Structure 1
Amino acid sequence: MSMNDSWYRASVGDVTQRDALQGDITTDVCIVGAGFTGLSAALELAEAGVRVTVLEAEQVGWGCSGRNGGQINPGLGCDHGRVVAELGADDARKVWQLTLDGVELLRSRVKRHNIDCDLKAGILLVANKARHVPELQSWQHELEALGYDQLAFYDRDALQSLLKADYQAGVMDWGGGDLHPLKYALGLASAAEAAGAQILERSAVLGYEEDGRTVTIRTAAGQVHAQHLLLAGNAYLGKLLPWYRKGFMPIGSYVGATRPLGELATQLIPSRAAVCDMNTLIDYYRLSADNRLLFGGRASARDAQPNALRATMRERMALVFPALAEEDFEYLWGGQVAMTMSKAPVFGRLGRRTLFAQGYSGQGVALAGMAGKLMAQTVQGDAAGFDLMARAKHWPVPPGAPLQTAIRALALLWYRLQDSR
Structure 2
Amino acid sequence: MTDSRALAEAFNEVFGREPEGVWHAPGRVNLIGEHTDYNDGFVLPFALGLGVSVAAARRGDGVVEVRSRQAAAAVTAPVDGGPVVAEGWPPERAWAAYPVGTARVLRERGTGGASLLIDSDLPQGAGLSSSAALECATALALCDLHGAAVDRPALARLAQRAENEQVGVPCGPMDQAASLLCTAGHALLLDCRSGLSSQVPFAPAGSGMTLLVVDTRAAHALAGGEYARRRAECEEAAALLGVAALRDVKDLAGALGTLRDPVLRRRVQHVVTENHRVEATVGLLRAGAVTELGAMLNASHLSLRDQFEVSWPEADATVDAALRAGARGGRMVGGGFGGSVLVLTAADRAARVRDAVAAAYAERGWTAPEFIEAVPSAGARRVTPA
Q: TM-score, normalised by structure 2?
A: 0.26
Q: TM-score, normalised by structure 1?
A: 0.24
More helix by share: 2
